[in-house]
Amino acid sequence: MTKIDTTRPFLPVRIAVMTVSDTRTLETDTSGQALVSRLEQAGHVLADRTIVRDDVGQITEQLTRWIKDPLVDVVITNGGTGVTGRDVTPEAFDRVLEKRIEGFGELFRMLSYRKIGTSTIQSRAIAGVADGTYLFALPGSTGAVKDGWDDILVFQLDSRHRPCNFVELMPRLREGLKEDHAHD
């Protein structure tokens, strides 16, 4: 079902990676490193990378900084999407998203079900758009990050993917925002 049209140019996007964890460091962050390796191998640019504690305020602040940064096209987080008290990444996304991409979480869980069965129901993977920036939240396990990238994002962030992809929509993500803000 995935088709890369090699007659079209590849357009690299600038991706910021946030690991949400109270315990990981850059040295022990295997899921964040797996994501960075994959996006760079695909030809994209690592715009920034950080580790943020499981705290709604801190996650929201970092998301907001990257959303406002013209050098960041996409934010991918890993971690904090479960159901425990410390898992608050989706709540932080709720504070910044203008539009949800409902199908992302649904597709992630469908693909994950094939590998881990009903345990996938514990994932609250989420995606959306804020001020022209794509935001994707993946679970923190290295396997989940690989699945999210290898089975979904590598294709949707490739400008050559047919029949459609997120990259070709980037110039239009902010349509209507100027009119909307003019009425504030």
Model pLDDT for residues 94-140, shown as the tens digit of each residue = 999 999 999 999 999 999 999 999 999 999 999 999 999 999 999 99
Give domain status of residue 133, yes or no: yes
CATH number, domain containing residue 132:
3.40.980.10
Q: What is the DSSP string of the chain?
A: --EE-TTSPP---EEEEEEE-SS--TTT-HHHHHHHHHHHHTT-EEEEEEEE-S-HHHHHHHHHHHHH-TT-SEEEEES--SSSTT--HHHHHHHH-SEE-HHHHHHHHHHHHHHHGGGGGG---EEEEETTEEEEEE-SSHHHHHHHIIIIIHHHT-TTEES--SGGGGGGTTTTHHHHHHT-
Give domain status of residue 184, yes or no: no
Give domain status of residue 107, yes or no: yes
pLDDT confidence of 177, banded at 50, 70, 90?
low
pTM: 0.93
Model pLDDT for residues 43-66, shown as the tens digit of each residue = 999 999 999 999 999 999 999 999
The predicted pLDDT at position 32 comes to 97
The predicted pLDDT at position 182 comes to 46
Give domain status of residue 143, yes or no: yes
Give domain status of residue 96, yes or no: yes
The domain total for the chain is 1
Give domain status of residue 63, yes or no: yes
Domain encompassing residue 116: 9-167
Mean of the pLDDT values across residues 27-48? 97
Give domain status of residue 179, yes or no: no
Kindly tell me if the per-residue pLDDT of 183 is higher than 60: no
Percent of the chain exceeding pLDDT 90 equals 93
